[in-house]
Amino acid sequence: LTVLGVESSCDDTAAAVVTGWPGGNDAPRILSSVVSGQTDLHAAFGGVVPEIAARAHAEQLDLCVARALADAECSLSDLDAIAVTAGPGLIGGVLSGVMCARGLAAGADLPLVGVNHLAGHALTPRLTDSVTYPFLMLLVSGGHCQFLAVEGPDRFARLGGSIDDAPGEAFDKTAKLLGLGYPGGPLVEAEARDGDPERFAFPRPLLDRPGADMSFSGLKTALRRARDGIVAEKGGLTRRDRADLCAGFQAAVRDVLVEKTRRAIGLFADRTGRRDATLAVAGGVAANGAIRAGLEQVAADAGFAFTAPPLALCTDNAAMIAWAGIERIADGAALDASITARPRWPLDAAARPLVGSGR
C-alpha cells in the first residue's frame, strides 16, 4: 500500500508518503516526509497559540502535500489511500487537516483513514524497526505522557501515565522560568550538561506509590521556588545557577521516568505474559540523551529490547500517520463511515467512526 499522510494537530504541518505492508517481506519505506514547523510564529508567546496555529495550518497544508508528492515522485493516482490525523489535538488544526484530506480523497476517489495522533506515535516503532505485537510503549512528549501495551493497530491498553503535566511541558516551562527560550527541551538539556544535578534537591513525586502513574507539576513549583530563592538572595541567576537548576530538574524527570518504566514493564509482563518484549520510546522528550540512557538501562535490566525511533520520527510528523493508516487498512478497518475531527480521543477508548470514502 502507498499512503499519503496528513498531520496538523499541534504546531507542525506535515505531509508524507509511505509505502509498505505490516509484517511484509520488505521493510516499509518513507518515500517523502515534509514537516513545516511553526516554532517562529509561537516563540514570542512561549507556547502554542491555537488561533495562530489553525491559520498557519490552513496556509501550509496544500504546500506540504504538494511537496510530499513531488519528493516521493508520485501523484494522487499512485496512492491507495489518504490517512489524516483526526484527533486528539487543537480542534482548529485537526479540522484544517481533515478538510484538506477529505477534499483530496474526494477529488481522486481515494479511501480516507482517520488516524489517532497518539496511535501514530505509538505505531512508529513498527515503521522504523521490525517490532512485533505486543510491545510496551512509553509516549513522552509536550502534551502526553503514558505507558501503553500496544497489542494491535487498534488495541492499546494504558498502563499508567502522568496525572498532571507532561514532561515536555515541564521542560518548556522550566526553560521559560529560566529565560532560555522555546521549545525548552533541547535548551534545558544543553544547560544541564555542565550542571551539578545534586545541588538542588528536587522532588521525585509518586515514587512512594505503587503503579506507573507519574506527576510533574510539583517539580515545576519546586524549580520556581529554587529560582526565586536564588534571585532573592543574589539579585539574579548566574550561568552556574542556571546549569545546576537544569541539571537537577532533568535528573528528577529522568529518575521518575526510569522508576515508573521499571514498574510499567512489570505491569506489561503481568498483562501479556511476555518477559522478553520490546520497550519503545517516542515523543519529543525521547530525544533527551540522559533520559534515553536511563530508559535503555531499565530495559536491559529487565531483559527487554529497546528501541527509540530516529528523532525526526519521534516528534510530530506525517510519516507516522501514513503508517498508522496502512496498519489500520491492513487490519481490515471498515471503509464506510465518515471522519469526525475530535479534540479529545483517548487511545484505549472504542475508536470509531474512523474510515470514510472521502465523499
Chosen from ligand ATP, Fe ion, none, partner binding at 172 (C-beta under 5 to 8 Å by type):
ligand ATP
Check binding of 12 to Fe ion (CB under 5 A).
Answer: no
Which entry of Fe ion, ligand ATP, none binds 97, CB below 5 to 8 A by partner kind? none
- Taking the alpha carbons of 307, 311, 313, 316 in that order, is the dihedral positive or negative? positive
Number of helices (H), then strands (E), in the chain: 11, 11
Residue 325, contacted partner among Fe ion, ligand ATP, none, CB below 5-8 A by kind: none
Binders of ligand ATP among residues 83 to 142 (CB under 6 A) are 141-142
With CA atoms as reference, report the closest residue to 29 among 84, 67, 74, 66. Answer: 74
Shortest Cβ distance from residue 232 to ligand ATP (Å)?
A: 28
Cβ proximity of 101 and 84 under 8 Å: yes
Task: Scan for cell 521516568, then name that residue.
Answer: 257
- Binding residues for ligand ATP, rule CB under 6 A, total 21
List 20, 185, 195, 309, residue binding ligand ATP (CB under 6 A):
185
Give the alpha-carbon dihedral of 314, 315, 317, 321, to 10 degrees. Answer: 60
Measure CA of the first residue to CA of the last residue in the chain; give whole Å: 21
| Nearer residue to ligand ATP within complex by CB, 40 or 276 | 40
CB–CB of 159/149 below 8 Å?
Answer: yes
Which residues are within 8 A (CB) of 40 and not within 5 positions of it... i.e. 6 or more apart?
none
Rounded to the nearest whole angstrom, what is the least distance from the CB of residue 250 to ligand ATP in the complex?
8
CB closer to ligand ATP out of 154 and 172: 172
Q: Is the CB of residue 25 less than 8 Å from the CB of residue 76? A: no
Is 316 a binder of Fe ion (CB under 5 A)?
yes
The annotation status of 266 as a binding-site residue, yes or no, is: no
Which lies closer to ligand ATP via its Cβ, residue 125 or residue 184?
Answer: 184
Site membership for ligand ATP, residue 285 (CB under 6 A): yes
C-alpha to C-alpha distance for 13 and 39, rounded to whole angstroms: 11
**Does residue 183 touch ligand ATP according to CB under 6 A?**
yes
Pick the binder of ligand ATP from 133, 135, 156, 171 (CB under 6 A): 171
**35 beta partners:** 14
Cα 15 from Cα 319, distance rounded (Å) = 7
Regarding 11 and contact with Fe ion (CB under 5 A), the answer is no
Q: Which stretch binds ligand ATP (CB under 6 A): 60-68, 95-103, 165-173, 321-329?
A: 165-173
| Candidate ranges 33-41, 181-189, 319-327, 345-353; the one touching ligand ATP (CB under 6 A) | 181-189
Q: What residues pair up with 216 in beta bridges, in sequence order? A: none
Return the closest-CA partner of residue 212 out of 160, 164, 168. 160
Count of residues in the chain: 359
- Span interacting with ligand ATP, options 73-81, 211-219, 279-287, 299-307, rule CB under 6 A: 279-287
- d(CA 122, CA 307) in angstroms, rounded, equals 12
Q: Which residues are annotated as a binding site for Fe cation?
A: 117, 121, 316
> Which residues of the shown chain bind ligand ATP in the complex (CB under 6 A)?
10, 141-144, 168-169, 171-172, 183-186, 189, 283-285, 287-288, 315-316
Annotated binding-site members for substrate: 139-143, 172, 185, 189, 288
